[in-house]
Amino acid sequence: MNKYLVLISATALALVSGTAAAGEEVDNDLSRCAAGKGPAVLVSVRGVKEAKGVVRVQSYSATAGSWLAKGRWLNRIESRANAGNMSFCVPVPSEGKYGIAVRHDRNGNGKTDITQDGGGFSNNPSVSILNLGKPSVGKVAFDAGPGVTRITINLRYM
């Protein structure tokens, strides 16, 4: 199993769950990331393979109990995919440590299609087959300030 398959499976599993989500689905309102706004994270998603399907961005508290745990995401944004690069403004409750997971559901069916969907995480960690592709919270955690924090996530596909 290659590292991309492992990465995508973990991302997909984390993002597909959510029927009992404690978080909030929000619109991708880029004005929340304007100068003087926040707290929020401006996420630049790089490498969206094609303008098909949906890109989902989810934020988590950077704690071992919350990171990628079912129903523990804070905010979720879903948007029609655009090929290339996309930007998302993800509000966060306060300054602190967070992790972001992104999935490109290429056919928009809401299901995990391991050989089709793309995924990535904050800090762009490499993943191994030993941990089934779920990067540790320590590898994805970043500090969000009181204003707007900027991060880039590179999507990976099979």
Residue 83, token pair as written in the block? 């090929």
- Of 114, 111, 106, give the one whose Cα is nearest residue 158: 114
Q: Is residue 130 scored above 80 in pLDDT? A: no
pLDDT tens per residue, range 76-100: 999 999 999 999 999 999 999 999 9
| Average pLDDT for 104-133 | 83
Q: Is residue 58 scored above 50 in pLDDT? A: yes
- Band (17; pLDDT cuts 50, 70, 90): very low
153 in Cβ contact with 48 (< 8 Å):
no
How many helices and strands (H and E) does the chain possess? 2, 9
Q: d(Cα 34, Cα 39) in Å, to the nearest integer?
A: 11
Domain count along the chain: 1
Domain with 139 in it: 3-154
- Band (113; pLDDT cuts 50, 70, 90): confident
Q: Is residue 110 scored above 50 in pLDDT? A: yes
- Band (5; pLDDT cuts 50, 70, 90): very low
